[in-house]
Amino acid sequence: MTITKATLDAFIDDHLNEQDSIRVEKAVRESPELHTLLKSIVASRDIGDHSIGAIWRREHLSCPTREELSSYKEEALDTQRIDYIKFHLEIVGCNACQANLLDLNSAKGPKANPAAREKHRQFLENSKLLLPKKQ
C-alpha cells in the first residue's frame, strides 16, 4: 500500500477500512516523514485549506440515496448501477452507506432489547424539552 497525502487525508477522516487504517497508523508511527506530513495536513486544514477528498467524504457526494440502496438490496437497478454501488460499498468502503444498508437489512432494528427501548423512550421524552418553544 502506497501512502500518499490523499491516503493520509482519508485516514484523518477515518474513511479507510480497518486493515488499511492499521497499516497507515503503523506506518505513521514508524516514519518521522509521514508523521510530519500528517501534522502538516492537519495544520493546513486548520488554516482552512480545501481538500477535494475531505469535502467529497463529508458531503457524501457520490453516495446512493437510501431509496437506491433499498433497490440495490432488491437488485432492482440496472447492472451498471448495481456494480457501482457494490464498488462504493466494498472497495471505497463507505461507512455511511454500509450503515444504511445494515439498517435496511435489520429486521429487529437497533432497539431490540427492553433496556435499549426504555433508554430510547426516555431520551425522546427528555429531548422534547429542548425543542424551540412554539411561537
Partner 1 sequence: MASTEEQLLVKKIQDGDEQAWSTLILRFEGRLTNYALRKIKDHSSCQDLVQETFLGFLSNIGNFDPSRYIQSYLFGILGNKINDLLRSRDKSKIIDHAVDSSGNQLDAGHADSAMGASTWYRGDEKKKLENDALIKCLNLLIEHLLQKKDYLKLKSIELLFVKGVSNLEAANILGIDNRTVASHRHYANNFIIEHLKKLHLSPDVFPQFSQQDQD
> Which residues within the stretch 81-110 sit at the binding site for partner 1 (CB under 8 A)?
83-84, 87-88, 91-93, 95-96, 98-100, 102-103, 106, 109-110
Output 74 or 135, the one with its CB closest to partner 1: 135
Is-contact 1 20, C-beta < 8 A?
Answer: yes
Cα distances from 102 to residues 34, 70, 98, 110, in angstroms, run 35, 11, 6, 10
Among 19, 31, 40, 58, binds partner 1 (CB under 8 A): 58
Output helix, strand, coil percentages for the chain, rounded to the nearest 5: 65, 0, 35
- The residue with cell 454501488 is 85
Output 32 or 74, the one with its CB closest to partner 1: 32
Among 23, 37, 53, 70, binds partner 1 (CB under 8 A): 53
Closest approach of partner 1 to the CB of residue 72, in Å: 14
Q: How many CB atoms lie under 10 A from the CB of residue 58?
A: 11
Interface with partner 1, residue 9, by CB under 8 A: yes
Output 74 or 79, the one with its CB closest to partner 1: 79
